[in-house]
Amino acid sequence: MIQKQIYNSEFILFLYGKTVKELDDLVSKVMSYGNQDFVPKVISRSKKEQILEQINNMNEKI
């Protein structure tokens, strides 16, 4: 229980590419190079919207 409370953190990685192919390649590399300490997963559209809302409104709690 304590370990879950201490290590229950979310990290968000923004990936950018000049083209869709470049972005797809970058996503593929990130997914394959992650080890057991870093296991990336794709998030839903609603979660993305929530994150962007929180970033753009830092004084509000969501």
Return per-residue pLDDT of the chain as tens, 62 residues: 555 666 667 788 889 999 999 999 998 888 888 777 777 888 899 998 988 888 888 877 65
Contacts of 27 (CB under 8 A, 6+ apart): 15
Length of the chain: 62
- What local confidence, expressed as pLDDT, does residue 54 receive? 86
- What local confidence, expressed as pLDDT, does residue 7 receive? 62
- What local confidence, expressed as pLDDT, does residue 45 receive? 93
- What local confidence, expressed as pLDDT, does residue 23 receive? 93
Nearest 5°: CA angle at 32, between 31 and 36?
Answer: 85
In Å, what is the CA distance from 58 to each residue of 7, 9, 36, 38, 62? 23, 18, 31, 26, 10
**In 3D, which of 13, 6, 8, 52 has the Cα closest to residue 30?**
13
- What local confidence, expressed as pLDDT, does residue 8 receive? 60
Q: 19 by DSSP, 3-state: which?
A: coil
